[in-house]
Chains A and B, each alone.
Chain A
Amino acid sequence: MNTDKHGLKKNLLRHETILFVVLVAEWLFFDVIGHNFGTYDNTCDILRHYCEIGLLALAMTPIILTGGIDLSVASLLGLCAILFGKFWRDAGMPIPLAAACTIGVGALAGGLNATLISWLRLPPLIVTLGTYSLFRGLAEAITHGVDTFTDFPNSFLFLGQERWLGIPAQAFVFIIATIFFWLLVHRTTFGRSFRAIGFSPEGAHYAGIPLGRRVAMVYVLAGVVSAIAAIIYTARLGQAKADAGTGYELFAITAVVLGGTSIFGGVGSIHGTLLGVAAIAVLHSGIAHAVLPGEMAGMLTGLLLILALAGSILPKMISGLRARKSAPRLAKQIP
């Protein structure tokens, strides 16, 4: 078999490889035209600023792999942030206990999504559209929109603002989360099940894969990760408020899709997501360091997304003419 040559060509054309080249090009471009962009300090800053979005994107990847979506992650981040503040300030809990309770709440809220999606078999888009409003609404209702939690101890703020061993403290959380999700998706039977469910839920059910439990798992995990992101967010800003993380869900989804994960499920990878987050983060930071209008970052992200999609479709269209299904089929909307 001469799969070697074939394999190399295939690898070079892989979405992740192309995205990596784009990322490096971005980096070099901004390093040239921007001021002090390619410095170690700025690299650390990018890590700090995009840690929460990165975490949400990591958690979003297995969800999209199963063919689902979670619009509620950022709202949950807001809810968890103010609950963390409440636990610490109003309930007088020590920070670690408050964090543990917050993560518990995150898991419960993820569990609500999970229950509705896997038990009642409701479309994830709609369920999480509902909880998107619900969680943010609860956060506002609890604080009346006004209450802000501040004056956290420095030992806690360290997590969001300082470096440890020369690396931003929250990067360690992110690295651990990345390793966890990479192993989960690429090296365990869970990841295998997610893909199978994403490709064909019925087929997975007939193969004896516990559909409900696996689907529930990804949403609960997303809840937990949202809570962790909320704690890091609070530590980074030094305050918790009901509007924390507004709009992060779109960032996270964009990053995941940019990273090559198919919105229909089945196809995708954690390293792709990582590259997707990096591409967006570098773009935003680079635009700022090149003193270009900030709106360009959003516009270029949109453009990049369309190009990435078109790029991933084109080789398929060409080989699709060869393969069995000839005409490019209308993309189905997510279930």
Chain B
Amino acid sequence: MKKTFSLLLAMTVAVFSGCKQSAETPSGGNNTPAPAAKQLTIGFLPKSKGNAYFVSCAKGAQRAADELGDKLIVDGPTDPDPARQNEIVENWITLGVDVIAASCENKEGISTALRKAQAKGIKVVTYDADALPDARSFFVNQATSQGIGYALMDEAARLCDTNGEFAVITGSLTAGNQVAWRKYVEERRAAAYSNMKCDAVEACDDLKDKAQSETTALLSTYPNLKLILSTTSLGVPGAAEAIKQAGKTGVVKNIGLGLPNENKRYVHDGVTQGVILWKTEDLGYLTVYAADAVAKGALKSGDKMFKAGSLGEFEIQGDNIMLGKPFTFNKDNIDQFDF
């Protein structure tokens, strides 16, 4: 017992002395200003891996990185733990990336880590979901939470002729963006569509199957339901399947945030009236271009326009680079998109 212990101790000391040595070697290229021609390393952080939305974003990001000749690292939490994002950012700090592009699950939570990155000379841009303003240089704004919430509610109201009952399927009760979108949906309803009533909010734990079960229960509980609104991309197809199985195609409308590919079939069947989203690949593409430009000093605060490769010019409002308005995919245009 004692012997093992002293052995362990000796080896621990050996390891740590080794690690101190390596600490003395300069780490990363971010302490000295990077020459313009140098290949940049960009850390691209989605909210979660294995989510079609972010897979699509990363696809655009990779295309941009290839064009620019940068190295792209995509990593994100695989389990639904908000602390994992911080861990990845901090790993990247020691790894020595040049720029971090992050979609933030927890505004306050991740900002501490991002500020730390900035203190080490790493540039930070955010996309999809913002951090606190002092923790990043620019936010690539695909649409504000307000914009999304309002757009969803407006579309819902249009389909229901501004009166009737509807229900909301949310990804989870706790996730930050879901909370924000639900808030703005409600705000818009209260302000503009007082004839409409939200009967219930159910969580589907980001599982399509659960969204279907919940919708089935909603449909039989509230016979007057006219519309299901999903604030998560997994909710729309699940809800659509439930509506179809209940034989209420067209009677109960179905809209939400979602990717075209997952919803094409239902849109054509007339179960889903439309899904709202921006062009996710463009979001990733623009983000990487912005990140690259920030790191090279080409994009500074105060700029009014930004040119991103083949996509052309984008407007900058303050420190938000605007991707444009959310796009509604419906029966007429959905086949033109493949993501």
Contacts and interface: CB of A to CB of B under 8 A. Distances in A.
Interface stretch (A11-19, A111-119, A172-180, A306-314): A11-19
A294 B75 contact: yes
Given A24-B15, A41-B94, A144-B173, A294 B80 contact: no
A20 B91 contact: no
Contacts of B112: 157, 161, 237-238
A40 B4 contact: no
A8 B3 contact: yes
A247 B81 contact: yes
Given A38-B22, A298-B78, A49 B87 contact: yes
B20 interface: yes
A227 B93 CA distance: 29
B11 A20 contact: yes
Nearest to A250: B79
B326 interface: no
B108 interface: yes
Interface in B89-136: 90-96, 106-109, 111-112, 116
Given A11-B1, A146-B173, A294-B49, A244 B82 contact: yes
B82 A145 contact: no
Interface in A125-176: 140, 143-146, 148, 150-151, 157, 161
The interface residues of chain B, by DSSP majority, are classed as helix
A240 to B, nearest CB: 10
Interface stretch (A188-196, A284-292, A315-323): A284-292
Contacts of B11: 20, 24
Contacts of A237: 82-83, 86, 106, 108-109, 112
A295 B66 CA distance: 24
Interface in A6-49: 7-8, 11, 14, 16-17, 20, 24, 27, 31, 34-43, 45, 48-49
A246 interface: yes
B105 to A, nearest CB: 10
A170 to B, nearest CB: 13
B21 to A, nearest CB: 8
Contact of B3 (A11, A27, A35, A288): A11
A248 B81 CA distance: 9
A178 to B, nearest CB: 14
B80 A247 contact: yes
The interface residues of chain A, by DSSP majority, are classed as helix
B82 A241 contact: yes
Contacts of A11: 1, 3-4, 7
Nearest to B49: A294
B173 A145 contact: yes
B76 A31 contact: no
Nearest to A45: B90
B109 A238 contact: yes
A40 B23 CA distance: 6
Contacts of B5: 271
Query: Which of under 10, 10 to 19, 20 to 34, or 35 or more describes the interface residues of B?
Result: 35 or more
A242 interface: yes
Interface residues of A, number: 56
B312 to A, nearest CB: 32
Nearest to B18: A38
Given A140-B174, A144-B173, A238-B109, A35 B95 contact: yes
Nearest to B85: A237
A243 B174 contact: yes
Nearest to A21: B11
Nearest to B4: A11
A233 interface: yes
Given A38-B18, A294-B75, A236 B86 contact: yes
Given A11-B4, A145-B173, A245-B81, A45 B108 contact: no
Given A35-B95, A288-B75, A236 B22 contact: no
B179 A14 contact: no
A8 B174 CA distance: 53
Nearest to B50: A295
A288 B5 CA distance: 30
A82 B49 CA distance: 26
Contacts of B28: 35-36
B249 interface: no
A75 to B, nearest CB: 13
Interface of B: 1, 3-5, 7-8, 11, 15-16, 18-20, 22-23, 27-28, 49, 73, 75-76, 78-83, 86-88, 90-96, 106-109, 111-112, 116, 172-176, 179, 203
7 contacts: A39-B19, A45-B90, A49-B86, A241-B82, A246-B81, A288-B88, A294-B49
Given A140-B174, A237-B86, A239-B106, 14 more contacts: A8-B3, A20-B11, A24-B11, A27-B19, A31-B22, A36-B22, A42-B91, A45-B93, A148-B176, A157-B112, A237-B108, A288-B88, A294-B75, A294-B78
Interface of A: 7-8, 11, 14, 16-17, 20, 24, 27, 31, 34-43, 45, 48-49, 52, 140, 143-146, 148, 150-151, 157, 161, 233, 236-239, 241-248, 271, 284-285, 288-289, 291, 294-295, 298
A-B pairs with the 7 shortest C-beta distances?
Answer: A145-B173, A288-B91, A237-B109, A150-B108, A42-B94, A40-B23, A38-B19
